[in-house]
Structure 1
């Protein structure tokens, strides 16, 4: 249980912490300092480096979460309400990320490659909104995970 929980927490910190840094710190600085061509190119390459970590985090979160649900709690029937909520929010976050990965992210890459800055700006705006939503869901999930069993 301790190995699964430790890996689970590490994966959550990487994913949610990365979104927090990108959305709250990097986004406003890049917006203030960089013109659209440099800003869009920066974001595309930031995502290109961060998104493999999100994939790894999702794999670890799913594996360790299901390991704890079925190996420790004896299935969903033995899991407390906060575990059900964490699973639901985690799956929601994964669905949002999959949409980002398969739709606006490749379009952002094509826009940057072809120097279509208006299209790139549109794709980045969509990614920004979705990451903002995922960040809120992720922070709620952290609150549920850390305090749920005490409710």
Structure 2
């Protein structure tokens, strides 16, 4: 059962981190030709869909991660350093996402819906900052998860 749970854990992390990579390094640099109102409307639609997947990923990651800790390792005492690092970086990522979703995303969403581009742009900067912090955290977390079992070799 643990391998199946870890597969879901890995897929959830790929969805979240891959989505941030796409948004920051692929979609954002492709946006300048669009007029600001269209760009903001596109971001709103992209984020609406992506954040639903991130919420799903967060639930899957927390349930599967702690499920493996308690049912695969029988608690925290047997955890390797790599799992402790993943826990800290993962919880930091979740905290940043929840903060971003609760404040700048809600501001951005309302501003775009009301046609207030200045407020939307200001909120977008804060969203981008969280993504710019969470992306390297996610990449580090994934690398630690993939290699951590080999740290003792």
Q: Offset at 1:93?
A: 0.4
Q: Aligned to 1:33, what secondary structure does the other structure show? A: coil
Q: Offset at 1:12?
A: 0.5
- 1:26 — aligned with what? 27
Q: Aligned to 2:70, what secondary structure does the other structure show? A: helix
How many residues in Structure 1 have an aligned counterpart in Structure 2?
150
- 2:139 — aligned with what? 139
Q: Offset at 1:66?
A: 0.5
Unaligned runs of 5+ in 1: none
Tell me the distance in 2 between the aligned counterparts of 1:49 and 1:99: 18
Under a length normalisation based on structure 1, what TM-score does the superposition of the two structures give? 0.97
Tell me the distance in 1 between the aligned counterparts of 2:48 and 2:56: 13
Tell me the distance in 2 between the aligned counterparts of 1:146 and 1:3: 16
- 1:108 — aligned with what? 108
Under a length normalisation based on structure 2, what TM-score does the superposition of the two structures give? 0.96
Deviations 1:93-141 (A, max 9, x none): 0001101111001100111111111111000011011011100100000
Unaligned runs of 5+ in 2: none
C-alpha root-mean-square deviation of aligned residues, in Å?
0.7
Counterparts of 1:93-104 in structure 2, within 5 Å, are 93-104=93-104
Tell me the distance in 1 between the aligned counterparts of 2:123 and 2:112: 10
Counterparts of 1:1-151 in structure 2, within 5 Å, are 1-30=2-31, 32-151=32-151
Runs (4 or more) in structure 1 with deviation over 3 Å come to: none
